[in-house]
Amino acid sequence: MATIDEPRTRRPFRWHIAVFLAPAVLVYTAVMILPLFGTLELSLFRSANGTRTFVGLENFRTLFLDPRWSATFWNALWNNTWFFIIHMLVQNPIGIALAALLSSPRLRFSAFYRTAIFIPTILSFVIVGFAWKLILSPLWGVAPNILDLVGLKSLFAPWLGKEEYALTTLSLISVWQFVGIPMMLIYAALLSIPDEVIEAAECDGITGTAQFWKIQLPLILPSIGIISILTFVANFNAFDLIYSAQGALAGPNFSTDILGTFLYRTFFGFQLQIGDPYMGSAIASMMFFIILAGVCLYLFAVQTRLRRYQY
């Protein structure tokens, strides 16, 4: 700060900014950033006869140019993109719609609905995996019987075991589990809209659905921006659901393999496959760059253009 001469009056160093930032920055840097970047650094190394040698970008060359590695990588990236698309198309609209319904004034039992819909989000993946495998299983009869009740038994298929359906099924399970998150964020945003704004709209005769589209939606756009980028980040880091439902090999035939499972297998190893932290870090670095690109796009292109209303 002091090195550059500012023509205007120089402000004294604002200690309070440092005080506000210091605890978070310290804990975060020591426990998270240093270990993580220590690991990412490994992507530039390889192990040869037990010693670590610097190989520059060789691991990335392998990842993109070796047909086996690159096929797995692109498969995982595409699956991950599909996973994300489903969340954007299903989870977020449902989340917004539920929040809009819940925030409508004088709705009775709203607290009950809000809690009930949020419960799946607090479940551990072990339970989610068990419950859905049990329900969708062709053997124990939950889904087939329910479909039978509505006369649609012919629609039933062993979805989790079919290459063409497994990923979509898992994406929808994930949507089921996490719809509470966009719902809560949007709900909080809708509640923060001051009553005066709504009342003014009502005086102008804008009510009901029109009110949502014309008044509330523009006001919650920043929050929709946040849920979109959070969904993006969460989806490209996703791992647990696929891992607990389909295992580390993300079957059938790698059709549910996403970047997180690919990374886990490579980095930590699996069964007879020995973990390879070097290639694993290369994959992690790629995931990092993909997510960073998305976040930068959001921070610099989307977020700065969103108009914020101060209340």
Partner 1 sequence: MNRAGVSLPHSIAAHAALIAYTGIALFPVVVVIINSFKSRAAIFRSPLSPPTAATFDLVGYRTVLEQGDFLLYFQNSLVVTVASLFFILLFGSMAAFALAEYRFRGNTLMGLYLALGIMIPIRLGTVAILQLMVASGLVNTLTALVLVYTAQGLPLCVFILAEFMKQVSDDLKNAGRIDGLSEYRIFFRLVLPLVRPAMATVAVFSMIPIWNDLWFPLILAPSEATKTITLGSQLFIGQYVTNWNAVLAALSLAILPVLILYLIFSRQLIRGITSGAVK
Partner 2 sequence: MNGRIGFALLVASSMPGAIGIAAAQDKTLTIESWRNDDLAIWQEKLIPAFEKANPGIKVTFAPSAPTEYNAALNAKLDAGAAGDLITCRPFDASLELFNKGHLADLSSLPGMENFSDVAKSAWQTDDGKATFCVPMASVIHGFIYNADAFQQLGITVPATEEEFFAALEKIKADGTYIPMAMGTKDLWEAATMGYQNIGPNYWKGEEGRLALLKGEQKLTDPQWVEPFATLAKWKDYLGEGFEAQAYPDSQNLFTLGRAAIYPAGSWEISVFNTQAQFKMGAFPPPVKAAGDTCYISDHTDIAIGLNAKSANADAAKTFLTWVASPEFATIYANALPGFFSLSSTPVTMEDPLAQEFVSWRGKCQPTIRSTYQILSRGTPNLENETWVASANVINGTETPEAAAKRLQDGLDSWYKPAK
Mask: binding to partner 2, 84-103, rule CB under 8 A, as x and -? --------------------
d(CA 31, CA 19): 19
Total residues at the site for partner 1 (CB under 8 A)? 100
Query: Is 51 or 310 the residue whose CB approaches partner 1 more closely?
Result: 310
Closest CA to 160 of 131, 125, 201: 131
Q: Site residues for partner 1, window 175-234 (CB under 8 A)? A: 176, 179, 181, 184-185, 187-188, 191-192, 194-195, 198-199, 202, 207-208, 222-223, 226, 230, 233
Does residue 269 interact with partner 2 by CB under 8 A? yes
Figure out which of the listed residues 272, 305, 310, 311 binds partner 2, where binding follows CB under 8 A. Answer: 272
d(CA 177, CA 119): 8
Query: Is 65 or 112 the residue whose CB approaches partner 1 more closely?
Result: 112
- Least Å from the CB of residue 115 to partner 1: 7
Does residue 162 interact with partner 2 by CB under 8 A? yes
Does residue 240 interact with partner 2 by CB under 8 A? no
Closest CA to 133 of 159, 154, 105, 110: 159
Stretch in the footprint of partner 2 (CB under 8 A) among 37-45, 77-85, 152-160, 222-230: 152-160
Does residue 135 interact with partner 1 by CB under 8 A? yes
Q: Site residues for partner 2, window 28-57 (CB under 8 A)? A: 50
Does residue 64 interact with partner 2 by CB under 8 A? no
Does residue 65 interact with partner 2 by CB under 8 A? no
Does residue 93 interact with partner 1 by CB under 8 A? no
- Least Å from the CB of residue 301 to partner 1: 13
Mask: binding to partner 1, 255-274, rule CB under 8 A, as x and -? -----x--x---x-------
Reduced 3-state DSSP string for the chain: CCCCCCCCCCCCCCHHHHHHHHHHHHHHHHHHHHHHHHHHHHHHEEEECCEEEECCCHHHHHHHHCHHHHHHHHHHHHHHHHHHHHHHHHHHHHHHHHHHHHCCCCCCCHHHHHHHHHHHHHCCHHHHHHHHHHHHCCCCCHHHHHHHHCCCHHHCCCHHHCCCCHHHHHHHHHHHHHCHHHHHHHHHHHHCCCHHHHHHHHHCCCCHHHHHHHHHHHHHHHHHHHHHHHHHHHHHCCCHHHHHHHCCCCCCCCCCCCHHHHHHHHHHEECCEECCHHHHHHHHHHHHHHHHHHHHHHHHHHCCCCCCCCC
Which residues, 6 or more positions from 26, have their beta carbon under 8 angstroms from its beta carbon? none
Q: Site residues for partner 1, window 290-309 (CB under 8 A)? A: 291-292, 295-296, 299, 308-309
Mask: binding to partner 2, 177-216, rule CB under 8 A, as x and -? ----------------------------------------
Stretch in the footprint of partner 2 (CB under 8 A) among 20-28, 212-220, 273-281, 300-308: 273-281
| Pairing of β 51-54 and β 273-274 | unpaired
Does residue 247 interact with partner 2 by CB under 8 A? yes
Which partner in partner 2, partner 1, none is near 64 (CB below 5 to 8 A by kind)? none
Query: Is 228 or 244 the residue whose CB approaches partner 2 more closely?
Result: 244
